């Protein structure tokens, strides 16, 4: 059933009675680890979560399987002031895995009600360039299944270049809030215009979906890229720690002033992503290096 404005579940994470604006995306995989392969230990997850809890009260996960339950259990056991948007990863051609993700997301939302603030069903499954583009009717069916089974708000995450299209309306009609990805860096924006572009992009999506609350699900600035890779077709600005620090500081200040909830992408570098070249941009979005040492932007918050 399409949620009416009155029936829509509010996404209102709070800590100490204060609304939480700032969140961060968390991929826990270190050197030699990857989804479906070697996974981080509980001790490694605990180290990560205590680093995160010093600065953020909200994290976003992308899969309900793998380390997700250990992350939630650690937050619960250590009484960390972190709420979680749990992801259910949806693939283009693996209905069995999709069903397992959906079932586990529902179970986690039920088992950890104090920790799970929302569930996001699918990540970039609809935008035209997605590598795991999925059937829209199937996605809507998954959203219905989750929303019928849990009490928390439910959404799906996608790029602004899906949410700004008419074909996004059937999906928008089914969610409690809209989870939006918008990267100035990937969209050929210079650093000095990046925050303005981000704000304008959010405003444009609000014009397309005026009755839906918008949470910025991903934005960020990479600290390295491969000059011989495909990313240089899309990224014209300089990558680097100094540039990331400039963007992060300006973006976070704008978001706080605008009261715009967001998940910054991301906490830690993820070397498993992309190809073999260690310079590849997908590996270098973290505010912390893969060894958990802070980059310039995170050092400035120490």
CA distance 114 to 116: 6
The overall longest dimension of the chain from CA atoms, in Å, is 51
Report the domain count for the chain.
1
Instruction: Classify 155 as helix, strand or coil.
Output: strand
Q: Is residue 181 part of a domain?
A: yes
Query: In the numeric block, which tokens belong to residue 127?
Result: 């935008």
Give the structural domain span for 152: 14-299
Residue of 105, 127, 126 whose CA lies nearest to 116? 105
| Half-sphere exposure for 280 (CA within 13 Å, toward CB) | 12
- pTM of the shown model: 0.96
Q: Provide the percentage of residues in the chain whose pLDDT is more than 70.
A: 97
Query: In the numeric block, which tokens belong to residue 110?
Result: 């039920």
- In this prediction, residue 34 carries a pLDDT of 96
Q: Which residues contact 71 (CB under 8 A, 6 or more apart)?
A: 26, 28, 45, 49, 59, 61, 84
Which CATH number does the domain housing residue 265 bear? 3.20.20.80
Q: Is residue 293 part of a domain?
A: yes
* 3-state SS, one letter per residue, for 1-49: CCCCCCCCCCCCCEECCEECCEEEECCCCCCCCCCCCCCCCHHHHHHHH
**pLDDT for 50-109, tens place per residue?**
999 999 999 999 999 999 999 999 999 999 999 999 999 999 889 999 999 999 999 999
Q: Is residue 6 part of a domain?
A: no
**pLDDT for 129-138, tens place per residue?**
999 999 999 9
Q: Is residue 8 part of a domain?
A: no
Answer for the pair 295, 244: CB distance below 8 angstroms, yes or no: yes
């Amino acid at each position: 059933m399409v949620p009416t404005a009155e029936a829509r579940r509010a996404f209102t994470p709070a800590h100490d009675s204060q609304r939480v604006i700032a969140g961060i995306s968390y991929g826990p995989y270190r050197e030699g680890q990857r989804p479906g392969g070697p996974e981080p230990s509980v001790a490694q997850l605990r180290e990560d979560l205590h680093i995160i809890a010093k600065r953020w009260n909200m994290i976003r996960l992308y899969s309900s399987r793998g380390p997700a339950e250990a992350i939630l259990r650690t937050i619960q056991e250590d009484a960390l002031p972190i709420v979680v948007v749990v992801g259910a990863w949806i693939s283009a051609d693996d209905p069995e895995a999709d069903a397992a993700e959906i079932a586990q997301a529902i179970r986690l939302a039920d088992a950890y009600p104090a920790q799970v603030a929302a569930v996001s069903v699918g990540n970039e499954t609809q935008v035209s360039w997605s590598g795991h583009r999925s059937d829209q009717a199937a996605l809507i069916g998954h959203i219905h299944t989750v929303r019928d089974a849990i009490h928390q708000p439910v959404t799906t995450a996608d790029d602004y270049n899906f949410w700004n299209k008419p074909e996004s309306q059937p999906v928008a009609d089914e969610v409690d809030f809209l989870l939006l990805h918008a990267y100035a860096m990937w969209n050929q924006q210079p650093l000095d215009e990046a925050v303005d572009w981000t704000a304008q992009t959010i405003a444009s999506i609000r014009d397309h979906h005026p009755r839906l609350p918008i949470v910025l699900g991903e934005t960020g600035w990479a600290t390295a890229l491969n000059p011989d890779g495909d990313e240089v077709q899309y990224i014209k600005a300089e990558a680097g720690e100094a540039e990331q620090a400039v963007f992060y500081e300006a973006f976070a200040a704008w978001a706080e002033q605008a009261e715009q909830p967001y998940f910054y992408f991301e906490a830690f570098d993820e070397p498993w992503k992309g190809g073999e070249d260690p310079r590849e941009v997908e590996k270098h979005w973290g505010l912390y290096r893969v060894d958990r040492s802070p980059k310039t932007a995170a050092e400035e918050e120490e």
